[in-house]
Structures are given as structure tokens and as C-alpha cells.
Amino acid sequence: MDRSSLFQLIQEQLDPENTGFIPVENFTSLVEHHELQLDPSKLDMLLALVHSNEEGQVCYQELIELMNSKRSSSFRRAIANGRRTLQREILLDETGLGLYKRFVRYVAYEILPCETDRRWYFHQNRLCPPPVFIAVVTIVQIIVFMCYGIMLNKWVLQTYQPDFMKSPLVYHPGHRAQVWRFFSYMFMHVGLEQLGFNALLQLMIGVPLEMVHGILRISLLYMAGVLAGSLTVSITDMRAPVVGGSGGVYALCSAHLANVVMNWAGMRCPYKLLRMILALVCMSSEVGRAVWLRFSPPLPSSGPQPSFMAHLSGAVVGISMGLLILRSYEESLQKQCSWWVIVFSFITFLLFAIFWNIFAYELLEVQIPPNP
């Protein structure tokens, strides 16, 4: 019996009136005697759904979502109440796993705070689609940096080279009308140290996050941090250019760190306090370096140095939008009121920033540095 036949059997025989609910007794009998081969973990989930129900009926839609490897918030609550029926073995104690499966187990304990979610992710994970977004962004950033490094014969403080600032990728207040610069600046970096810091954090934090939460959510979070970074600079530091992917990187990092703090007791990643302190020290030192370069540049320059406000705005995006994304593993964001509040706030900020860039520079008579 294939999956579609099973669904048809359930609907026709167990829910003939199409009420959307199935009596627990009939459903239990079906689960125990069905002919469809299921993963042991998925069968445990079905039994947990049955035993956790208090009204004597099972929602047909929840069953469909489970069979298609999706879970609603109501089903997550059902699993939480019926956790006694889940498999008891601890992931860390399993032996004989291949290299990839061991890495998946590491990611599960690194990212997810709930044991049920960790088991679900570990058993249903497939390398399709692969976590390509963060990897592609990092590779493009490295290629762009190497091209400019070879062309300028300079690998640190590249912003002091006029040809570097003439790049069509750099955000410059004099080129605000070229909208792509509000995004493309993430491919340019001040020097080898900034590129190395961003690339390392992207790969260490971004790839596991993308493996768990998917390319759509993590790319949305990263690009929202990038866009918020350039827009914030255009409002708060109106004479400064922007380079580097720090807005997106800090959105990922702050979201992950906030998720760890909010779920401290449930996180199973080793040495989490030490790692938290090291991450905060590294991020703070990077912000401090950016502030120093902005206000006390080591060399004379023809114009203002890149702003550090992208770091801070990326962190704000991560704590607000990112924390909700990471706490909503396999739940529909569209059904959550808090998600729409955050989206509305971001759109409001976006519209305000657009009007600011159109009118404020002339009204305030801001002296923009000459276009490179």
C-alpha cells in the first residue's frame, strides 16, 4: 500500500463524513496493522500523536503533515505531551555512524535546544537540498577579494586605494540611486583580516544553521541583515561608505547566540559558556576595530572610512527576526502573530529609509564626499 492509498483509506473508512477528525481507537488499530513501511522514528511520532490526544480523536491534517515530514505547532505540542512513546536512545551514544551522519548529529546538538527536535532532525535529515547559500556567498566574497588584491597589489586596508572605492559593488552615499549597492557591498572587504573573520563565522555558524532551518530562512535572515546594515548607515552615518558582509554575519551570529541564551538549559553543545564568551569577545573586538578605522584611520584618506553601523544593525536584525526564525523549527512562520509584527516593523523601517535617502540628504544639506 502506497502513501496515497493509505490517505484514501483513512479518509474513506475512518472519516467518511469528512469531519477532519478520526477516532483514536480506529486510528490506533490502523497504525498497528498498516502495510506502509515507515521509519521507526515516524511510527513513534504517530503513536505519540495518538497517546497524547485528550479528546478521543486525531486531526486528519496533522497526520498528513507528519506523513509528509512536516509538523504544525499543535502537533509539536502533541509530541511534547507524548514524549514517553519516543525512542529512548541518546544520539551521542549511537555507534557505527558514517562521517556525514556524525556531522548531522553534531549539528543537531549544536543548533536545536529540544531533544524531540534533535531526534526528528537526525532521523529525517537528507542532504537535499544541500546548504549552498552560505557556501556560495563565502566563495564569491573570497574570489572578489582575491581579484582586487591582485589588481591593487594590496591585501590590507584596501579602502585607501581609489580604484577599490570606485568599484560598482561598494556602497557610497554619492551613488545611492544605484540600488544594487545596498546589497552588493557585502562582497567587498577592507582587508584580509575582515574577510577572514566574516568567512570563518559564516561557515562555522551559517552552514549548520542552514542545514537545520533551510536555505530560504537563512538566506532571508542574512540578506535582511545586509540590507539593514546599508540602510542604517545611510541614516545614521550619512557621509560614510560601507563594505563587508558584517551585517549578514552579525545577523546570523546574534540570532544563534540569542537562541542559545534563551534555551540555555536545553542546549547540549559542549563548553557552551566558554564558546559564548569567545564569540562575544571576537564580535566586540571586530566592532571596536571598525570604530577605530572609522574615526582614527591609521593613514590619511581622501574621504570618510567605512562605517561600523552595519555590524550593530545586523545584530538587531538577528536578535529580532533571527531569534524567531531559529525558535520556529519546522513550524510555519506565517501562522505566528509575532512574525508578522517583525515583518511589519522591518517594512516600516525600509519605507522610512527609502524616503530618507530620497529627501533627507538635500533637506539637511549633507556634504557628501566626492564620488570615487
By annotation, the residues acting in catalysis are 246, 311
Task: Identify the CA nearest to 169 among candidates 253, 226, 252.
Answer: 226
Cis check: omega of the bond before 16, within 30 degrees of 0: no
Task: Give which of 50, 48, 45 is closest to 29, Cα–Cα.
Answer: 50
* Residue 371 per-residue DSSP state: P
Which amino acid is present at 264?
A: W
Q: How far apart are the first and last CA of the chain?
A: 68
Tallying the residues shown for the chain, one arrives at: 372
**Sign of torsion, CA 8 11 14 16?**
negative
Strands (E), the chain: 21-23, 57-59
SS3 319: helix
SS3 category, 207 = helix
Contact 195, 229 (CB under 8 A): no
State the residue for C-alpha cell 506523513. 67
Q: Can you read off the three cell numbers belonging to residue 41?
A: 522514528
Cα–Cα distance for residue pair 67/3, rounded to 1 Å: 8
3-state SS assignment for residue 143: helix
| Residue carrying the nine cell digits 506565517 | 334
Q: Is the dihedral of CA 351, 354, 356, 359 positive or negative?
A: negative
